[in-house]
Chain A
Amino acid sequence: MPTYSFLSLLREGFTGHKGWTPAWRFPDPKPAYDAVIIGGGGHGLATAYYLAKLHGMRNIAVIEKGWIGGGNAGRNTTIIRSNYLEDASAAIYEHALKLWEGLGRELNYNIMMSHRGVMNLAHDEGEARVLKRRTEANRLNGIDTEWLDAKQVKEFCPPINISAGSRFPVLGATLQRRGGVNRHDAVVWGYARAADVMGVDIIQNCEVTGIKVEAGVVTGISTSRGDIRTPKVASVAAGHTSIIANMVGVRLPIQSHPLQAWVSEPVKPLIPCVVMSNAVHAYVSQSDKGELVMGAGIDPHNSYTQRGGLDTIEHSLAALIELFPMFSRLRLLRQWGGIVDTCPDASPIITKTKVKGFYINAGWGTGGWKATPGSGHAFADLVARDEPNAIAAPFSVERFSSGALVAEHGAAAVAH
């Protein structure tokens, strides 16, 4: 496989780009694998990549119902940050952020990791208190969160409206400078290409229809392209986790909701960073192409369809225009929805189950993208060793019985 570099691009330019080979193969499923990952999104492909790279498991497959990256991996707003309140959350998201920092070169695929800074705004005293607490928690966890007052917020992001008379006056904000955005498709494609090279079979257009269990132990799966024997099945099927888990009788405290995002028409650079506001359930950044990428809170109803209502967008836009008055005349170019699996404590599930050989990575709610490398890394470890490592352990499904929740819901209503 050709290495991607400035030089190879230069060379191919002279010869009409005939030398580029497929980024991944289109294999038929083999009769048996050492492990099968259900879900070819970011987390699933990352899991496969780290299983192959760090645990030597190369006879494995990623089974994808549609096309890789077609679920939440291709539908999120690509925000990266690690400034979470709880120690367990801080550990996994910071682990992910450290992996993000070198990922493009590691995968030899430019994921356009842009550490442009993420601001979380405080609009009232209560929010300021919560964010200052988080800043302190982050400081002790070694995470680079700083508190900005309103004037510093304006300096960092000049278009923002900080006038005191605003419906949502800006009292201040936290800023994580290492936070930012990246290119979601590139991450999916980069992981897929790197995993494929190591022998991982990425099988697209293949739907899992059943999981075979004998005496409490996984023995294989049934798919729309035939049966596959395997001792390990790892579900990373965000949006449909409950459906997959139900195939083996595992019940999860997950509720699935639509989550919407949208972009404006492209304009010249306007917003230099990521701005998030809990109070108004909205967040915005600007893509390299120039589109303002915006998102809302979840649609309140439960659903497995990747679509939501216009009202959610109307509501978020009204708030965003208050924050950024110049947005008013820009135009909505595209809107879409994904399905997010939310847990009661707004933290994910990375777990073994009562069925031996069946593992679940799910429940990332609205904030899964930023965790992609950390999630895949920790989950690969669990799948390979059948034991959670220190990063994954707090996210066991057992916590909902013991009560040892990783409570991020109080701290961040919008946890993107």
Chain B
Amino acid sequence: MQRFRLHQGGLIDRSRPVHFTFDGRSYEGYTGDTLASALLANGVHMIARSFKYHRPRGILGAGSEDPAGLVQVGANANETDPNMRATEVEIFDGLETFSQNCWPSLSFDIGAVNDLVWRWLPAGFYYKTFMGPPANWMFFEPLIRRAAGLGKAPEGKDPDRYESQNRHCDVLVAGGGPSGLMAALTAARSGARVILSEETPLLGGRLNALDPSETSINGKTPREWVAACEAELAKLPNVTVLTRTCAFGYYADNFVALAQIEQDHLAPAARDAARPRQRLWRIRAKEVVLATGATERPLVFHGNDRPGIMLASAAETYLHRYGVKAGNRAVVFTNNNGAWGSAFALAKAGVQIVAIVDARPAPEEALMRQAASLGIPVHPHATIVDTRGQFRVKTAVVRRLDGHRGVSGEATVINCDLIAVSGGWSPNAALFSQSRGKLRFDAGLPGFRPGPSWQAERSAGAANGAMKLADCLAEGAAAGADAATKSGFAGTNPAAYTLQQPDAPSYNGIATWQLPSGRSASSTRAFVDLQNDVQAKDLKLAVQEGYASVEHAKRYTTTGMGTDQGKTVGINAFGILADELGKSMQEVGVTTYRQPFKPITFGALAGQHGGALYAPRRTTPMHDWHESHGAVFEPVGEWLRAQVYTRPGETFASALQREARTARTSVGVLDASTLGKIDIRGKDAREFLNRVYSNAWLKLAPGRCRYGLMLKEDGMVFDDGVTACLAEDHFHMTTTTGGAARVLNWLEEYLQTEWTDLEVYLTSVTEQWAVAAIGGPKAAEVVAAVADKFNPNPGNFPFMSFREATAGGIPARIFRISFTGELSYEINVPASYGLALWERVMAAGDKYKITAYGTEAMHLLRAEKGFIIVGQDTDGTVAPDDLRMPGMAKTSADFIGRRSLTRADTVRKDRKQLVGLLTEDPSVVLMEGAHIIATAVEPVERPAPALGHVTSSYKSPNLNRSIALALVKGGGELIGKTVYVSRKGADPIHATVVETDFMKQVGSHS
């Protein structure tokens, strides 16, 4: 039974009742209710506990500003949502909600013991203790962590999905209240592309909280007018209206991010699996209208945090939008005229207004008369000094104000079940502030409102400090016209309207940042931040202790740092600080508004870019063949490469040994399609190569290839690869697999910023060519069979050559290059022929027992020959000479990094140099990354000096022993000497330093 539901009114669908639970108890509401409005309809006010003292918390607001009415939504462990605002959760049949941050139950919460010792837990108490001895922070931290936190995170993978999308528009209007609607209508009629975003499910904003019988726009009730606006906007193809969509972040260059709830409000059965749960809109707008409204602020008085104490505007919203009475006996406590209207509206709906308490010395006569006519007792120039009621407010104690800081006279005790409070209104300027605009204090409001614009935006209506509906409509229309005009739709005129409204007195608020209680300061408990339990005295303590900057005070007390982003906190806190410091509000200023305006789901921010789509795996045209032939894959950069091909009965290790052996004794083939490939053209291509490679390139003839090293400016090796000269002005560059994008960016940066005079064009062709690298003693026979009318014999086709040919009619580029030391060919074909080429190679090699080999065998084979892998045998600290490869640094011309090669440290003799290592025991395979020391016994003291480390290490089937490459200090001078490879928990391993070409020195093919 919805005891507090009015018999009529509200924008809810009474024909569709909804059943939901809170803490296991079943309640009824209507479609269109929020959890808060439905619970209030059932008389439930206390729904949460606060963060620090675990004090009972109710519902203060009616939207995203509500500070502490947080619940856990959903019972499914993977789908549960912590910290959901009851004022924003839309109810549906079967919705399960729970209180959080309390144990064992909401009404009996052990954590509330904190509230008994509140005197010892002021702001920042934890900075002063828990340092030990005897117990230190590591002892206390787990206890504090368990007590902290609010709701519980889900346990597993989120079953829902999310999307993000980009949009451009002429005019973005943030906020669908009266100002936003006028702005959108005006801009839309001009033909501008308009996006209107509204945070809540309904357009209309504050209009939805007005008494429909008292206000009319264009001769319609507010709701009818909103519907008409909505209908007109819906018809215009240049307009997108997004409800349940919060503009949460204003970034550089008018980039505004919106978060849209697509399905949270639907019962699970009604959700469309084809649609995301939530959507991120990334908007780049030419012009922005901020029509984000204003937030009513609570009053700071002793005992102001009990359930049943609610913003006056929220009480009105529950009344008119949801048809719910927030209480039966209400005290209205205000410092402005606005809340008097709330009082009269509540009275009209049958709520007994037992008192209007106004902090102002002389409320307006007209209001006093109206109150008197309704029989409402008024307490002018008074304040509430205390409240009572454990889980819901039961009484308010009222006394007269005396001067600025005191109270006097008899206390009046008033029984009530609702206190509707209003401390005035604060423009919602978070987005404006995020846009880098500076706020200025307006003593007339009083409050902070937007100053001059920094980006192409303007604020309108309540967001700009306008507190009258007529002003909001007018400002919205003007802002829409201005935005449309500036975005290219000149001559746009503001949309017209007529407004009929009873004469409301202007709002005439005063600044009352904290009201006196008549108690000692230390025993007054007046809350500024209801979520984080920051009291006025905490802010004063911060000032007392020197945390006087507004940012220091915020951080020291945690004011406004809760999940509500301090929407109802800010100005009260700044005011208390200003009073305490004796400074003006403008001097004190405001804390930085950070994005987002309200909490935004991580999943929505990740959008569809999660999981496999985060960085999509790239596979080669031969991938399916690899997969069907037992390939084990490994990620290499963005690619998936076959690491090894296991045949039935083989282990990873035995397959590797077979592959590596066959590749040297008969023939093997590697899918080398992933190597980075860059097509380089232009009359200066050769000069360009000569500058980016450290070795010489000017004399490379067409039809020839060369291995090159690229250095960074610091002279250290950055990438390597073979580049072929296709024609005088045309080259085919290869890079490492992982370095392809990096190298292309690097080359482009030089072309575009340093060498703008060179005529060179770069095109990534990595994915245009598929490559089979065929190597081994039988490689020539296989290539002869694969290619058409092509003689691959070394006598005809020298090492480091390139020819165009065909293979079974497929156009091909054949290179005679080798990464294993064997006779090798790389056949490149257009990628779409990759699989055909591969199968042709396998067929041709069948009689030689050809083996496909993976990256693991490739690594091993190249190490046997002493060839480096950039990034494994180098680490950004290795210069060409350190590799002990002669001729890699030309003297004939300048190149990137050349200058650095003559620096004092680069010419040191004892630099780390690449050498081979052979362990004394040939069966011992060194650990890659192991460190090399100079002594057979590892020193005990730390740090212990190291000579270098093992970069590559393998068990070689062809040499029948282990081999390793290492970077060793002065390694070149140590050839033939013994070094010691350190390891944890055992004696160092003895190894001999050797040259890197193991094939040459250890023996021929076994």
Proximity bits, A8-40, B CB within 8 Å = 1, else 0: 111001111110111111100000000000000
The residue from B145, B544, B607, B930 contacting A318, defined by CB atoms under 8 A apart: B607
Measured between beta carbons, the chain A residues less than 8 angstroms from B132 are: 105
- Segment 920-942 of B: residues with Cβ below 8 Å from A: 927-931, 933, 942
Q: Nearest-CB distance from B896 to chain A (Å)?
A: 14
Q: How many residues of chain B get a CB closer than 8 Å to chain A's CBs? A: 116
Contact B158 A329, beta carbon cutoff 8 Å: yes
Q: Is A234 an interface residue (CB 8 A)?
A: no
Proximity bits, A34-74, B CB within 8 Å = 1, else 0: 00000000000000000000000000000000111110001
Q: Contacts A267-B82, A405-B714: A290 and B149 contacting too (C-beta < 8 A)?
A: yes
Q: Is A354 an interface residue (CB 8 A)?
A: no
CA–CA, A186 and B930, complex, Å: 40
Q: Contacts A265-B599, A268-B153, A332-B599: A17 and B541 contacting too (C-beta < 8 A)?
A: yes
CA–CA, A105 and B713, complex, Å: 46
Measured between beta carbons, the chain B residues less than 8 angstroms from A25 are: 546
Contact B149 A267, beta carbon cutoff 8 Å: yes
Contact A403 B128, beta carbon cutoff 8 Å: no
Measured between beta carbons, the chain A residues less than 8 angstroms from B606 are: 314, 317-318, 321, 328
Measured between beta carbons, the chain B residues less than 8 angstroms from A403 are: 714-715, 900, 903-906
The residue from A69, A105, A266, A344 contacting B148, defined by CB atoms under 8 A apart: A266
Q: Nearest-CB distance from A163 to chain B (Å)?
A: 10
CA–CA, A317 and B607, complex, Å: 9
Proximity bits, A224-246, B CB within 8 Å = 1, else 0: 00000000000000000000000
Q: Is B756 an interface residue (CB 8 A)?
A: no
Measured between beta carbons, the chain A residues less than 8 angstroms from B126 are: 110, 112
CA–CA, A136 and B692, complex, Å: 35
Complex: chain A residue closest to B738, CB-CB: A126
Q: Nearest-CB distance from A363 to chain B (Å)?
A: 15
Measured between beta carbons, the chain B residues less than 8 angstroms from A330 are: 82, 153-154, 601-602
Measured between beta carbons, the chain A residues less than 8 angstroms from B614 are: 167, 280, 318-319, 322
CA–CA, A327 and B602, complex, Å: 7
Proximity bits, A96-116, B CB within 8 Å = 1, else 0: 000000001100111011110
Q: Is A141 an interface residue (CB 8 A)?
A: yes
Contact B146 A269, beta carbon cutoff 8 Å: yes
- Segment 546-594 of B: residues with Cβ below 8 Å from A: 546-549, 551-552, 555-556, 558, 561, 563, 565, 592, 594
- Segment 109-135 of B: residues with Cβ below 8 Å from A: 117, 119-120, 122, 125-132
Chain A binder among B248-256, B377-385, B785-793: B248-256
Chain B binder among A148-156, A214-222, A333-341: A333-341
Proximity bits, B144-169, A CB within 8 Å = 1, else 0: 11101111111111101010100000
Most buried by A among B79, B145, B600, B617: B145
* Chain B interface, >50% SS class: loop
Proximity bits, A245-289, B CB within 8 Å = 1, else 0: 000000000000000000011111110000000001000001011
CA–CA, A369 and B7, complex, Å: 61
Q: Nearest-CB distance from A394 to chain B (Å)?
A: 11
Contact A267 B602, beta carbon cutoff 8 Å: no
Contact A401 B158, beta carbon cutoff 8 Å: no
Q: Is B511 an interface residue (CB 8 A)?
A: no
Proximity bits, A289-307, B CB within 8 Å = 1, else 0: 1100000000000000001
Q: Contacts A310-B251, A321-B602, A405-B714: A267 and B153 contacting too (C-beta < 8 A)?
A: yes
CA–CA, A80 and B181, complex, Å: 51
The residue from A17, A132, A268, A327 contacting B149, defined by CB atoms under 8 A apart: A268
Measured between beta carbons, the chain B residues less than 8 angstroms from A4 are: 127-129, 131
The residue from A22, A320, A405 contacting B545, defined by CB atoms under 8 A apart: A22
Contact B83 A23, beta carbon cutoff 8 Å: no
Measured between beta carbons, the chain B residues less than 8 angstroms from A335 are: 249, 594-596
Chain A binder among B767-775, B827-835, B943-951: B943-951
Q: Contacts A129-B872, A268-B152, A402-B903: A189 and B615 contacting too (C-beta < 8 A)?
A: no
Contact A317 B602, beta carbon cutoff 8 Å: yes
Contact B151 A267, beta carbon cutoff 8 Å: yes
Contact A265 B150, beta carbon cutoff 8 Å: yes
Contact B146 A321, beta carbon cutoff 8 Å: no
Most buried by B among A185, A204, A268: A268
Contact A110 B128, beta carbon cutoff 8 Å: yes
Q: Is B443 an interface residue (CB 8 A)?
A: no
Contact B156 A326, beta carbon cutoff 8 Å: yes
Q: How many residues of chain A get a CB closer than 8 Å to chain B's CBs? A: 110
Contact A288 B943, beta carbon cutoff 8 Å: no
Measured between beta carbons, the chain A residues less than 8 angstroms from B942 are: 140-142
Measured between beta carbons, the chain B residues less than 8 angstroms from A87 are: 943
Q: Is B521 an interface residue (CB 8 A)?
A: yes
Complex: chain B residue closest to A139, CB-CB: B984
Complex: chain B residue closest to A184, CB-CB: B555
Q: Is B876 an interface residue (CB 8 A)?
A: yes
Complex: chain B residue closest to A291, CB-CB: B149
The residue from A16, A23, A270, A318 contacting B609, defined by CB atoms under 8 A apart: A318
Measured between beta carbons, the chain A residues less than 8 angstroms from B51 are: 266
Q: Nearest-CB distance from B944 to chain A (Å)?
A: 5
Measured between beta carbons, the chain A residues less than 8 angstroms from B548 are: 26
The residue from A13, A331, A411 contacting B601, defined by CB atoms under 8 A apart: A331
- Segment 315-358 of B: residues with Cβ below 8 Å from A: none
Measured between beta carbons, the chain A residues less than 8 angstroms from B871 are: 126
Measured between beta carbons, the chain A residues less than 8 angstroms from B594 are: 334-336
The residue from B127, B715, B738 contacting A110, defined by CB atoms under 8 A apart: B127
Measured between beta carbons, the chain B residues less than 8 angstroms from A345 are: 714
Q: Contacts A6-B129, A328-B158, A329-B81: A132 and B602 contacting too (C-beta < 8 A)?
A: no
Contact A270 B555, beta carbon cutoff 8 Å: no
Measured between beta carbons, the chain A residues less than 8 angstroms from B282 are: 310
Contact B127 A186, beta carbon cutoff 8 Å: yes
CA–CA, A344 and B144, complex, Å: 41
Measured between beta carbons, the chain B residues less than 8 angstroms from A6 are: 129-130
Measured between beta carbons, the chain A residues less than 8 angstroms from B442 are: none
Contact A204 B900, beta carbon cutoff 8 Å: no
Q: Is B272 an interface residue (CB 8 A)?
A: no
Measured between beta carbons, the chain A residues less than 8 angstroms from B156 are: 325-326
Contact B928 A129, beta carbon cutoff 8 Å: yes
Q: Contacts A104-B137, A167-B615, A322-B611: A267 and B83 contacting too (C-beta < 8 A)?
A: yes
Most buried by A among B548, B552, B556, B715: B552
Q: Is A355 an interface residue (CB 8 A)?
A: no
- Segment 244-285 of B: residues with Cβ below 8 Å from A: 249, 251-252, 255, 257, 280, 282
Q: Is B765 an interface residue (CB 8 A)?
A: no
Q: Contacts A133-B928, A326-B158: A290 and B145 contacting too (C-beta < 8 A)?
A: yes
5 tightest A-B contacts by CB?
A: A16-B522, A142-B942, A290-B149, A133-B929, A410-B876
Q: A13-B119, A288-B144 are in contact. List 18 more A-B contacts (CB 8 A).
A: A74-B551, A110-B127, A115-B138, A124-B635, A124-B636, A137-B931, A140-B982, A167-B617, A185-B555, A268-B153, A289-B149, A314-B609, A318-B610, A325-B157, A328-B154, A335-B594, A401-B903, A403-B715
Give chain B's interface residues, CB within 8 Å of chain A: 51, 78-83, 117, 119-120, 122, 125-132, 136-138, 141, 144-146, 148-158, 160, 162, 164, 249, 251-252, 255, 257, 280, 282, 520-523, 541, 544-549, 551-552, 555-556, 558, 561, 563, 565, 592, 594-596, 599-603, 605-607, 609-612, 614-615, 617, 634-636, 713-715, 738, 871-872, 875-877, 900, 903-906, 927-931, 933, 942-946, 949, 982, 984
**What are 13 residue pairs bridging A and B, where the CB atoms are less than 8 Å apart in the complex?**
A67-B551, A115-B138, A126-B636, A126-B738, A183-B127, A319-B614, A325-B157, A327-B153, A328-B160, A329-B602, A404-B905, A405-B714, A409-B876
Give chain A's interface residues, CB within 8 Å of chain B: 4-6, 8-10, 13-18, 20-26, 66-70, 74, 87, 90-91, 104-105, 108-110, 112-115, 123-126, 129-137, 139-142, 167, 169, 183, 185-186, 189-190, 204, 264-270, 280, 286, 288-290, 307, 309-310, 313-315, 317-322, 325-336, 344-345, 399, 401-405, 407, 409-411
